[in-house]
Amino acid sequence: MKANNEKLIAVLNDLIRINYDRIEGYEKAVEEIRDFSEAEIKSIFIKMADDSRKHRTELTQAVVQLGGEPATDTTTAGDIYRVWMDVKTTFAGNDVLASLQLCEYGEDKALEAYKTALATDVTWPTDIRAMIEKERASLKSSHDRIKRYRDEYASAEKSSH
């Protein structure tokens, strides 16, 4: 049982770090959008960061419930992703499409992390597994929304050239 809990705690801490990545990524994306006409995109990014704060809180509570120490930082991959985001937005300027593409990439990585977590060979407490599945569904919805907006912006950009 102890080994199972340790493995569960490690998996949950990975998801906590992924949510820290999402929060920082969306906060960065909000900063990059300076055009007032993009208020809708900005509000979506703010909501997604808020969703990750909620997920992080739920995951933290689960880690504590299992007797573990919750993660308080981002992933190394997330740090690399944010540096790439800085570089890309520097060269692309205030480009909403570039931000959406980067956010979609981040959503792909978050979904992949949740899929990996759910496939981990551990015995999941029913309530924690249900929470992870609910969060994954929320991330899938966010991913699809970002993809829709990215497709719309890509289409609009093509038709303006």
8 A C-beta contact, residue 73 and residue 20:
yes
For domain 2-160, give the CATH number.
1.20.1260.10
Element (H, E) at 148: helix 126-160
Q: Map out the domains of the chain as residue ranges.
A: 2-160
CA distance 10 to 68: 9
The predicted-structure confidence for 117-134, as pLDDT tens digits, reads as follows: 999 999 999 999 999 999
Share of the chain above pLDDT 90, in %: 56
The pTM score is 0.86
Type of residue found at 55: H
The predicted-structure confidence for 84-119, as pLDDT tens digits, reads as follows: 556 555 445 557 888 888 888 889 989 999 999 999
